[in-house]
Amino acid sequence: MEGFLYIIKWWVAFPTSEYGGLVVLSAKDDEEAVQFLVNQSQEDKLGWHGATEPEAIMRIPLAVANADKLKLDATECGKPPKIIRKFIT
């Protein structure tokens, strides 16, 4: 299974917040990346401070669409999707 390494920049703009960060995620496609991040957000595992859950969920598809993506081959792509690294302020 091929997939992508997503480098997702996360920012919650003022006045809601001034928090941001970076999430590096492996997933097979944008749809899987979005669904995985929505699930993580609903389970409060991302720690995206300053954004209410509906705000965070609305921002996820745009953040994934704007992410830097690197193609992975079958030996590099994990299944299921997983967060490789997370830095959130």
pLDDT in tens, 47-75: 665 566 677 778 889 999 999 998 887 66
Name the pTM for this structure: 0.75
Q: Is the predicted pLDDT of residue 82 greater than 60, yes or no?
A: yes
Beta carbons within 10 angstroms of residue 73's beta carbon? 9
- What pLDDT, on the 0 to 100 scale, is given for residue 17? 60
- What pLDDT, on the 0 to 100 scale, is given for residue 18? 65
Query: What number is the average pLDDT over the span 33-56?
Result: 73
Whether the upstream peptide bond of residue 80 has omega within 30° of 0, thus cis, is yes
- What pLDDT, on the 0 to 100 scale, is given for residue 38? 85
Domains of the chain, by residue range, sit at 3-88
Contact 5, 16 (CB under 8 A): no
Whether the upstream peptide bond of residue 61 has omega within 30° of 0, thus cis, is no
